[in-house]
Amino acid sequence: MRDFGIALLASLGVVAQLAVVGLLIAALAAAVSPAARRAIAPAAATLGEWGAWMAAGVAAVAVAGSLWFSNDAGFIPCHLCWLQREVMYPLAFLLVAVAIVRRWWLTLAAAVLPLIGAGISARHVWVEAHPDDESAACRVGVPCSVKWIDEFGYITIPVLAGTAFVLVALLLVASGLVQRRQGAPR
């Protein structure tokens, strides 16, 4: 069961990475081509309406995955894992409120938290690759350089967290910008 759970979460991470790439390509195409902007207009409208809900869903899956890793798979969180959790857990609840209120400025402001989380994840990925750069806090208890999983040759727990943070941030920014353009309430 543990191997299946790891493979499932790693596969969801790859799907999320493909979504990140798709969003970035769509944004770039829309920025340089009026024809592309027209072509993605229906998808952008949907993103304006549902983007915050999608971001909340991604955060909820990330929370559930982190709880599964520690409670069912038995992986003990390190210092950097806890810091990422301290950003993701409240973010999952905050994004439900953001989706309900649906104010463009609040949607854009909420993107700051996942960007902070992505920075912590990037540091964690660095420490996994460069264990000599661990801080003293990372050496207490479980070292931050421990790779509990290594799927597809690159998916580790901080890569999954970082992917979720980046996808949440992109969904919020895209949703907030579309809401602003559509004249959503301030």
Instruction: For residue 65, give Cα distances in angstroms to 11, 59, 161.
Output: 12, 10, 9
What residues contact residue 177 under an 8 Å CB cut-off, 6+ apart? Answer: 104, 108
- The pLDDT score that the predictor gives to residue 147 is 94
Model confidence pLDDT, tens digit, residues 61-96: 999 999 999 999 999 999 999 999 999 999 999 999
Model confidence pLDDT, tens digit, residues 116-157: 999 999 999 999 999 998 888 888 889 999 999 999 999 999
Q: What is the distance between the alpha carbons of residues 137 and 69, in angstroms, rounded to a whole number?
A: 21
- Take residue 14 and report the two structure tokens written for it: 């790859």
Residue 186 has pLDDT above 60, yes or no: no
- The pLDDT score that the predictor gives to residue 1 is 82
Other C-beta atoms lying within 10 Å of the C-beta of residue 110: 24
Please tell me the pTM assigned to this model.
0.94
Residue 181 has pLDDT above 90, yes or no: no
Model confidence pLDDT, tens digit, residues 100-115: 998 989 999 999 999 9
Model confidence pLDDT, tens digit, residues 21-51: 999 999 999 999 999 999 999 999 998 889 9
The amino acid occupying position 129 is A
- The pLDDT score that the predictor gives to residue 184 is 59
Residue 113 belongs to domain spanning: 2-182
How many domains does the chain divide into? 1
What is the DSSP code string of 29-84?
A: HHHH-HHHHHHTHHHHHHHHHHHHHHHHHHHHHHHHHHHHHHHTS-PPP-HHHHHH
Q: Work out the angle at residue 116's Cα, subtended by the Cα atoms of residues 54 and 140, and round it to the nearest 5 degrees.
A: 120
